[in-house]
Every structure is written in C-alpha cells, then in structure tokens.
Amino acid sequence: MEDLLPTLQKAGVLNFEMETATLYTLTSLHGLRAGSISAVYANRCTNEFKPDAGEENAIKIANEATKILYEWDKTKRRRKKRWLFPSLLNIG
C-alpha cells in the first residue's frame, strides 16, 4: 500500500477517491443513474490542503448538470424513447 501514490503518479492519475464507486454501484443495482464532480482539497504528494478550494464551482457545475439531465429526461418522455440520442435534441 505504501507504493500506491508513486504508482498512481506514474499512471498519470490526478484524482482518486472511494465514495463514488459505491454510489455508482448502488445506483446501477437499483436502475438509477449517478454522477460525480470532484473539487480538489488535498495534494497528497505535498501534503497540502486547501479547504473550500473549488467547492463553489463544483456546486454550480452539479446544478447545471442536473438541469440538463432533467431537460433530456423530459425530451425522452415526450418522444416516448428509452434512450437519448443526439437527434432527439434538435441541436444546431
């Protein structure tokens, strides 16, 4: 386990956390969907921590993503489709 950080660095990993995997697994088992947005608070390489770093932007992005998904779901229901395809969105 002590080799984990150097291994992740070598692989180019910029973020790691454990809670999202559980969220994705549980929602998938129940036929739901989930998403995740990460704000970086800690630099594990330098042991630096920045509380509240990026939190406001993460909240704004999550809110906007929720609005977009809501609109897409309305489009699917209106068109009586199970899946969303770009052609349903009439973009452009």
Using an 8 Å Cβ cutoff, are 65 and 35 in contact?
A: yes
Q: 19-23, 55-59, 88-92: which has the minimum mean pLDDT?
A: 88-92
| pTM listed for this prediction | 0.65
The per-residue pLDDT for range 35-66, each reduced to its tens digit, is: 898 888 888 778 888 887 888 999 999 999 99
81 vs 45 pLDDT, higher one: 81
**First-residue to last-residue Cα distance in the chain:** 50
pLDDT value, residue 38 = 84
Q: Alpha helix (H) ranges present in 1-92?
A: 4-10, 19-29, 55-78, 86-89
Parse the chain into domains and list their residue ranges.
4-82
